[in-house]
Structure 1
Amino acid sequence: MGQSQPLVLLGAGGHAKVLLSLAQAAGRAIIGVCDPLLVKQGVQCWRGIPVVGGDDALLQMDRAKVGLINGIGQLVQGNLRQRVFQRHLDLGFQFPVMVHPAAWVDPSATLGQGVQVMAGAVIQADVMIGNNCIVNTRAAIDHDCRLESHIHIAPGATLCGSVHVESGAFIGCGANIIQGLRIGHDSVVGAGATLVRNLSAHQILLGAAPRTKTSPFE
């Protein structure tokens, strides 16, 4: 997808606000925002961007000429962001990679469709990142890390070299992942935690020791 192609932003929450700023800083044209709640409220313009309606309005657009930005934030145990991405992908839409001009991405890194890299983030040599991932503000991903799809690396988190993160995992704000570890799918590393050994699927790490998840609200 060309860098000059116009884009429609999906969602109008906090994450969407940050993405709108990213797109504007990168010189990308946002021609509309799609959010059912705005439509229900009768809002016609959001942060200076026209509200184009819901999915019905998107279906009238030329998929070859208009790209989408997934503005749905990723929450712990929430898969709405993933569902929105996959539904529109199946409809034939494309999601461009979005990188803030103030981020650093090594030329050898590989970023999948719809990856979002926020201001101050650093992605080092030979990193591989799958589809629909967020590398949030000031996050750092060191050499040879592999991230599968639908992962959120929250602001200020650090992944040392050769970390493997499986699909759907959530790495909280300011978390630190020691080199060479594996984080299982749909697991959570809590804010400020330091991971020093592998984390199995569906586990939460709070502090320094992993435990099985019992509630998304813990």
Structure 2
Amino acid sequence: MNKPIIIIGNGGHASVLTEILLLQQRDILGYTAPSQEANSYRVKYLGTDKIIETYSPEEVELVLGLGTVHISTVRHTIFVKMKKLGFTFVTCIHPKSIVSLTAILAEGTQVMAGAIIQPHAQIGENTIINTGVIIEHDCLIGAHVHIAPGTTLSGGVIIGNESHIGTGSSIIQGVEIGKKTLIGAGSVVISNIGTSKKAYGVPAKEV
């Protein structure tokens, strides 16, 4: 049974998720933010994130509406905090995306319009698969990762936890990218990149 949803955040990423939830005819209770802001979907402002703790985990579910443009611990921190309080995060999948029946999506995964996730791919919790992303067969994507719009991952690619893969990047088959690593927009990655690195270019090189 679907529970009412609280959206954490009210920016651009939250608006994309709001539209997915409305397309799925989910009941949105409201959003949280540091202060009340305009909301084009007329979603109710509930208060700061602290207000979530006044609800029971049995009566609401959460959607994390904060995006990232670089390596950030904010999404990870909020996700872990709310999980410790017993809350569940909704896995949001746009109806215009394609997700293989054999793909595995962990809790809180967000799949945007036009994304394709092929057979036996595995996506970690709280990870964003953004608009038009292609995740080919047998890829392993860690937790709290952001694969930015228009990125292509060929078969068997591995992405470590908390990494950010910039818009329009391409990663060839079998490449492994470590944890907390930033791949710059438009990069072509043809060899492994280590942990806590920054890399960009064609081909991508560590900086």
Scaled to the shorter chain, the TM-score interval is over 0.9
Confirm or deny: 8 A CA contact 1:130 1:149 kept in the other structure.
Answer: yes
Task: Name the counterpart of 1:209.
Answer: 204
Q: How does 1:29-68 map to 2 (within 5 A)?
A: 29-38=27-36, 43=37, 47-68=41-62
Answering whether residue 149 of structure 2 is matched by residue 151 of structure 1, we say no
Structure 2 unaligned spans of 5+? none
CA displacement, residues 76-112 of structure 1 (integer Å, 9 cap, x when unaligned): 1221111111111111110021100000100101101
3-state SS in 1 of match to 2:44: strand
3-state SS in 2 of match to 1:49: coil
Q: CA RMSD in A?
A: 1.4
- Aligned residue pair count: 206
Answering whether residue 138 of structure 2 is matched by residue 138 of structure 1, we say no
Q: Give the letter for the 2:104 counterpart.
A: T
Task: Name the counterpart of 1:116.
Answer: 110
Confirm or deny: 8 A CA contact 1:175 1:194 kept in the other structure.
Answer: yes
Task: Name the counterpart of 1:14.
Answer: 12
Answering whether residue 170 of structure 2 is matched by residue 186 of structure 1, we say no
Task: Name the counterpart of 1:95.
Answer: 89
TM-score normalized by the length of structure 1 = 0.90
3-state SS in 2 of match to 1:83: helix
Task: Name the counterpart of 1:26.
Answer: 24
Equivalent of 2:166 in 172, 178, 198: 172
Distance 2:78 2:40 in 1: 20
Structure 1 unaligned spans of 5+? 213-218
CA displacement, residues 107-161 of structure 1 (integer Å, 9 cap, x when unaligned): 1011011000000000000011111000000000000000110000000000000
Alignment identity in percent? 35
Distance 2:178 2:39 in 1: 41
Distance 2:150 2:104 in 1: 21
More displaced, 123-132 or 77-86?
A: 77-86
Q: Give the letter for the 2:23 counterpart.
A: A
3-state SS in 2 of match to 1:33: strand
